[in-house]
Chains A and B, each alone.
Chain A
Amino acid sequence: MKVQGKAHVVGDHIDTDAIIPARFLVTTDPAQLGANCMEGLEAGWIKRVSANDIMVAGENFGCGSSREHAPISILGAGIPVVVAKSFARIFYRNGFNMGLVLLEVGDEIDKLRDGDELEVDTATGVIRNLTTGEQVQCAPVPPFMQEILDAGGLVPYVKKRLAA
């Protein structure tokens, strides 16, 4: 899958309370959660986002709670990909389970700036910065995670096993 959109840069250690504060956790509806995405970072953050834009984050993105509402709210906001220097562990699993593509790029993250137009090839992990012409190669998705992605996420993966 190739995704093209504008980069929205956020900092290091963006926690799940920043992504979706506790007061919004009284629903599981993606649209409602999406409307309040990053509300704990900055009021009205969502207003700057268009469909298919890309979140670009620093170290340890998604630290904090196990709340799956966090990746759901990002997807609900229309953001299909998060590119980060590194991810917090629970968030990383949740992202794949929900079908949110997460790419870990390490220090190369500095080649992506706020507002840059990016093209992300989720299959190869290549990110082209259309604004600067630079390119970033992400670490490959581990084979087991790829198996879950290939099944279409954890829900169909388990469904298949239950049926077997």
Chain B
Amino acid sequence: MPQTLAEKILQRHTDEEAASGRIVRCRVDMVLANDITAPLAIKSFKAMGAEKVFDKDRVALVCDHFTPNKDIDSAEQVKVVRDFARQMDVTHYYEGGNVGVEHALLPELGLVGPGDVVVGADSHTCTYGGLGAFATGMGSTDIAGAMALGETWFKVPPSIKVEIKGKPEPFVGAKDYMLKLIGEIGVAGALYKALEFCGPIVEGLTVEGRMTMANMAIEAGGKVGLFAVDGKTLEYAGQAGRKGDVVLFPDKDAEYERLVEINVDDMSPQIACPHLPDNVRPVDEVAGLRVDQSVIGSCTNGRIEDLREAAAVLRGRKVAKHVRCIVLPATPRIWTQALREGLLEIFMEAGCIVGPATCGPCLGGHMGILAGGERAIATTNRNFKGRMGSLESEVYLSGPAVAAASAIAGEIAHPAHV
């Protein structure tokens, strides 16, 4: 039977028939948790009576949310994770100088890749779909089960095919395509389903751009956001030190629940307005709104290409006096690369705050919390009410170029107009 990408990848990890709608038990290639979700997973793991993880090389514990620790409680939480990692002899424990935002870090280290099944106690685990991995977020107890057994169960999702075509305008990229899609289908538009991206634009995208898009599949309710594995993916995986990955495409006659077409001709940069990621409008409709903060970073847009895009706008310019522009390179390697390329100098000279590789303000964790009545533009993935701080604050989502341009203008702005 012809298979979608989701069915195909799951099929490689189960002995049952991975047809849409069926519940199958699958082996997993990597299990992930962070400093917020791992403590609960560890609690459940112990309650399950488990004494060791199924494979010490296939569990990743990344303390990236409240680190470097913001208070005693968060420090205690990380201690729980650190002690557990030592006790279980977990190979991939990250904190301090080697930590980065989990979903940028794992692909970079080659720990996740094409055809893998990955489960993570973090909803944006779906990012690895950009590499052709069936990767999805779960809760801590599900992750504890996977850490103990090396397998989990899935209801094989029906797939929605998303074809992206047209000719993009300047300053329009991966984030804008994804925001446009979420605006079209809504935050529950892909509930319980897989999004499978295709079309000339997708083929032309870099692997980083694909990860930006896959990252936000969950913002449409999706279980995964998947891209076929091509030469670019294999090159990325190879550079990350992986061996033996192969191209992976959906079968020609695979069945899709529906087809969604996005035409990017004449599309301008997209903005998700408060308080849901599907409240999407072209930048011109919201331009002129005063902002207090601009955040460039996160698992959505904290990779080197994103920093280059922001730096190209900020070069030789100054951030408006009333704006706090926070730049967080997503991993130590990206940080170093940005330093070598002179990007950090551009940010500092423009008056930005360059911070460590952390999730930071994305979830209102620390470093960039908003006060009541404040407004932020951010390259992050969620703009729920109170997400970045006060319930009376507002978050607008955009790509890096718009976030940079808005920091300069002091108000939401099209990069071509600053």
Q: Which residues of A contact B (CB under 8 A)?
A: 13, 15, 17-18, 21-23, 25-28, 40-41, 43, 59-60, 63-69, 71-72, 86, 88-90, 93-94, 97-98, 142, 144, 153-155, 157-159, 161-163
Chain B positions within 8 Å of A90 at CB level: 123, 137-139, 218
B interface residue count range (under 10 / 10 to 19 / 20 to 34 / 35 or more):
35 or more
Residue of A nearest to B386 (CB): A40
Residue-by-residue, is B36-50 near A (CB-CB < 8 Å gives 1, otherwise 0)? 110110011001111
- Please give the distance in Å from B149's CB to the nearest CB on chain A: 6
Say whether, besides A18-B385, A22-B363, A158 and B48 are in contact (CB < 8 Å): yes
Chain A positions within 8 Å of B145 at CB level: 154, 157-158
State which of A40, A60, A68 has its C-beta within 8 Å of the C-beta of B191: A60
Residue-by-residue, is B9-42 near A (CB-CB < 8 Å gives 1, otherwise 0)? 0000000000000010000000000001101100
21 intermolecular pairs with C-beta atoms under 8 Å apart: A15-B384, A17-B364, A22-B36, A22-B365, A28-B40, A28-B43, A59-B188, A60-B187, A60-B221, A63-B221, A66-B122, A66-B123, A68-B140, A89-B221, A90-B139, A97-B141, A144-B153, A154-B141, A158-B50, A158-B148, A163-B49
Residue-by-residue, is B146-168 near A (CB-CB < 8 Å gives 1, otherwise 0)? 00110001010000000000000
Task: Verify A27–B73 contact, CB threshold 8 A.
Answer: yes
Residue of B nearest to A40 (CB): B386
Task: Verify B48–A26 contact, CB threshold 8 A.
Answer: no
Task: Verify B47–A155 contact, CB threshold 8 A.
Answer: yes
- Please give the distance in Å from B72's CB to the nearest CB on chain A: 9
What is the count of residue pairs linking A and B with beta-carbon distances less than 8 angstroms? 135
Task: Verify A43–B391 contact, CB threshold 8 A.
Answer: yes
Task: Verify A21–B386 contact, CB threshold 8 A.
Answer: yes
Chain A positions within 8 Å of B155 at CB level: 142
Beyond A17-B386, A67-B37, 4 extra complex contacts between A and B, CB < 8 Å? A17-B387, A64-B384, A68-B121, A158-B50
CA of A157 to CA of B386, assembled, Å: 36
The answer, yes or no, to whether B77 is at the interface (CB within 8 Å) is: yes
Task: Verify A154–B142 contact, CB threshold 8 A.
Answer: yes
State which of A21, A93, A155 has its C-beta within 8 Å of the C-beta of B44: A155
CA of A16 to CA of B139, assembled, Å: 12
Specify which of B50, B66, B385 lies most central, judged by the most chain A CB atoms within 10 Å of its CB. Answer: B385
Q: Which residues of B contact A (CB under 8 A)?
A: 23, 36-37, 39-40, 43-44, 47-50, 66, 71, 73-74, 76-77, 120-123, 125, 137-142, 144-145, 148-149, 153, 155, 187-188, 191-192, 218, 221, 223, 276, 363-365, 382, 384-387, 391
Task: Verify A68–B153 contact, CB threshold 8 A.
Answer: no
A-B residue pairs, 6 tightest by C-beta = A26-B73, A94-B139, A68-B139, A60-B188, A66-B137, A97-B141
Task: Verify B138–A93 contact, CB threshold 8 A.
Answer: yes
Say whether, besides A21-B364, A63-B188, A159-B48, A97 and B142 are in contact (CB < 8 Å): yes
- Please give the distance in Å from A31's CB to the nearest CB on chain B: 15
CA of A161 to CA of B150, assembled, Å: 12
- Please give the distance in Å from A162's CB to the nearest CB on chain B: 6
- Please give the distance in Å from B17's CB to the nearest CB on chain A: 15
Task: Verify A93–B142 contact, CB threshold 8 A.
Answer: yes
Chain A positions within 8 Å of B141 at CB level: 68, 94, 97-98, 153-155
State which of B44, B66, B73, B187 has its C-beta within 8 Å of the C-beta of A63: B187
Specify which of A43, A98, A158 lies most central, judged by the most chain B CB atoms within 10 Å of its CB. Answer: A158
- Please give the distance in Å from A19's CB to the nearest CB on chain B: 10
Task: Verify B47–A68 contact, CB threshold 8 A.
Answer: no
Residue of B nearest to A163 (CB): B49
Task: Verify A68–B48 contact, CB threshold 8 A.
Answer: no
Chain B positions within 8 Å of A157 at CB level: 145
Chain B positions within 8 Å of A67 at CB level: 36-37, 139
Task: Verify A40–B385 contact, CB threshold 8 A.
Answer: yes
State which of A13, A65, A88, A153 has its C-beta within 8 Å of the C-beta of B276: A13
Chain A positions within 8 Å of B140 at CB level: 66, 68
CA of A36 to CA of B382, assembled, Å: 21
